[in-house]
C-alpha cells in the first residue's frame, strides 16, 4: 500500500475522512469504505493503536463516530476495503523548476500562501458544491448542475498549461478519464485560460472531460481558491517568459491554487483536496477508485 504523508490530522472511524485537528475542512487525504471499528470507545482506541502503531491517542465521540487525534506523521496503510488517495508531485516538473532556479522561489511562495491561510475558505466535505455556470472551450455556458445530471463529478481547478505540474495532472487525467466515465463519473476542469489556451487544455485532456473557462478567476474567487499573486512573483514569471496577464486575458493579478473535489450524485462534496502547495495533486487513478467505491 502507498505511503500517505499528512499534517496534523484526525482520522474518523465512521465518517471516513482525514481532516486537520480543530478545523472543519478536510485535507487532501480521504478514506472511503467500511469504518475501522464500530465498537465502544475503548475498543476503538485499542484498534487504532494496534492498526496505526501509535501509542498515545485521544478519543472523542461525535454521535456514533470515533475520532483519533494525532500529531504530524505518516499513515502507512488502511484496512482492506478502503480507498486510499495518494498525493503526487511530478519529478519532471521538479527538474524544470530546478533548471529555472525557481525551487527556493516556490518554497517561499508556498510558505507565504500557507501563512495567509489561502484555501481555508474553500468548500468542505459534506457541503453542497456551488452551482456556478461558466463557458466551456467552445464558448457554451455550462452549469455544474447541468454537467452533473445525476452522476458523480470530479471537479479540478488548475492553474493552466503554462504550469508543468498542471500539465502532468492533465496528462494523467487523459489516461484515467475513460475509466472514470466507465464507473459513472465525469471529469470537469476549471481553468482561467480562454481561447487558444482553453482549446489546448481540452486537447491535452481529451474529449471525455469538460473544460470550463473561469474568466477573471470568478469561480475560483467564489470558492476561496484565488489569491493576489503579488508583484514579485509576477516579475519573476515575466523573467522566464510567463505573462500571466496575457495567459488569462486579464491583469487582475489573481492566481488560483489547484484543488480537486469529488461531488456525489446529490451534489454534496465527498472528497476535497485543497492545498497551497500547488505541486501536490491527487492521483487520478485513486480518484477513479474512490468514485467507483461510491456506487
Reported as a single tens digit per residue, the pLDDT across 181-210 is 999 999 999 999 988 999 999 999 999 999
Q: Which residues pair with 62 in a beta bridge?
A: 65
| Contacting residues for 283 by C-beta, under 8 A, at least 6 apart | 85, 86, 87, 88, 172
* pLDDT mean over 225-242: 91
The predicted structure's pLDDT at residue 168: 94
* Spans of all domains in the chain: 4-84, 88-294
How large is the average pLDDT for residues 32-57? 35
Q: How would CATH label the architecture of 88-294?
A: 3-Layer(aba) Sandwich (3.40)
254 strand-pairing partners: 228
Average pLDDT along the chain? 76
For residues 187 and 82, give the distance between their C-alpha atoms in angstroms, rounded to a whole number.
22
Query: What is the arithmetic mean of pLDDT over 40-61?
Result: 36
* pLDDT level of residue 252 (50, 70, 90 thresholds): confident
Amino acid at each position: 500500500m502507498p505511503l500517505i504523508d499528512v499534517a496534523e490530522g484526525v482520522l474518523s472511524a465512521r465518517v471516513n475522512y482525514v481532516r486537520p485537528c480543530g478545523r472543519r475542512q478536510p485535507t487532501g487525504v480521504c478514506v472511503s469504505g467500511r469504518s475501522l471499528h464500530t465498537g465502544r470507545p475503548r475498543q476503538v482506541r485499542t484498534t487504532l493503536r494496534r492498526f496505526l502503531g501509535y501509542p498515545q491517542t485521544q478519543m472523542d465521540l461525535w454521535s456514533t463516530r470515533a475520532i483519533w487525534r494525532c500529531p504530524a506523521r505518516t499513515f502507512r496503510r488502511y484496512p482492506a476495503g478502503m480507498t486510499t488517495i495518494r498525493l503526487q508531485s511530478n519529478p519532471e516538473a521538479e527538474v524544470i523548476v530546478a533548471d529555472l532556479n525557481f525551487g527556493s522561489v516556490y518554497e517561499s511562495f508556498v510558505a507565504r500562501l500557507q501563512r495567509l491561510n489561502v484555501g481555508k475558505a474553500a468548500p468542505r466535505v459534506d457541503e453542497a458544491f456551488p452551482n456556478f455556470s461558466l463557458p466551456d472551450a467552445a464558448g457554451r455556458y455550462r452549469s455544474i448542475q447541468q454537467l452533473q445530471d445525476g452522476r458523480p463529478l470530479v471537479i479540478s481547478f488548475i492553474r493552466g498549461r503554462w504550469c508543468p505540474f498542471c500539465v502532468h495532472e492533465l496528462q494523467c487525467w487523459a489516461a484515467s478519464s475513460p475509466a472514470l466515465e466507465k464507473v459513472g463519473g465525469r471529469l470537469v476542469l476549471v481553468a482561467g485560460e480562454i481561447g487558444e489556451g482553453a482549446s489546448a487544455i481540452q486537447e491535452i485532456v481529451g474529449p471525455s472531460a469538460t473544460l470550463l473557462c473561469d474568466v477573471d478567476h470568478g469561480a475560483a474567487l467564489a470558492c476561496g481558491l484565488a489569491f493576489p499573486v503579488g508583484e514579485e512573483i509576477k516579475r519573476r514569471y515575466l523573467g522566464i517568459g510567463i505573462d500571466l496577464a496575457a495567459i488569462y486575458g486579464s491583469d487582475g493579478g489573481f492566481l488560483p491554487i489547484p484543488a480537486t473535489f469529488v461531488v456525489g450524485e446529490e451534489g454534496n462534496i465527498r472528497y476535497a483536496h485543497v492545498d497551497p502547495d500547488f505541486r501536490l495533486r491527487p492521483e487520478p487513478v485513486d480518484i477513479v477508485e474512490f468514485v467507483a467505491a461510491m456506487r
